Amino acid sequence: MSDEEDDIILSELNDEELVQQMFDDLYDGLKEEIEESVNILLERKWEPYRILTEALVGGMTIVGQDFRDGILFVPEVLLAANAMKGGMAILKPLLIETGAPRVGKMVMGTVKGDIHDIGKNLVGMMMEGAGFEIVDLGINTDVDGYLNAIKEEGADILGMSALLTTTMPYMKVVIDTMVELGIRDDYIVLVGGAPLNDEFGRAIGADAYCRDAAVAVETAKELIARKHNQMSA
The residue among 68 and 227 lying less far from another protein, judged by its C-beta, is: 68
Rounded to the nearest whole angstrom, what is the least distance from the CB of residue 99 to another protein in the complex?
Answer: 31
CA-to-CA distance for 64 and 116, rounded, in angstroms? 19
Contact residues for another protein, defined by CB under 8 A: 20, 23-24, 27, 29, 62, 65-66, 71-76, 78-79, 82, 113-118, 121, 139-140, 164-166, 168, 195
Rounded to the nearest whole angstrom, what is the least distance from the CB of residue 167 to another protein in the complex?
Answer: 8
- Cα-based distances in Å from 75 to 71, 82, 97, 151: 12, 10, 33, 36
% helix, strand, coil for the chain, step of 5: 60, 10, 25
Rounded to the nearest whole angstrom, what is the least distance from the CB of residue 50 to another protein in the complex?
Answer: 19
Strands 132-136 and 208-209: unpaired
The residue among 26 and 220 lying less far from another protein, judged by its C-beta, is: 26
The residue among 66 and 133 lying less far from another protein, judged by its C-beta, is: 66
Rounded to the nearest whole angstrom, what is the least distance from the CB of residue 82 to another protein in the complex?
Answer: 8
Q: Do 217 and 130 touch, CB atoms closer than 8 A?
A: yes
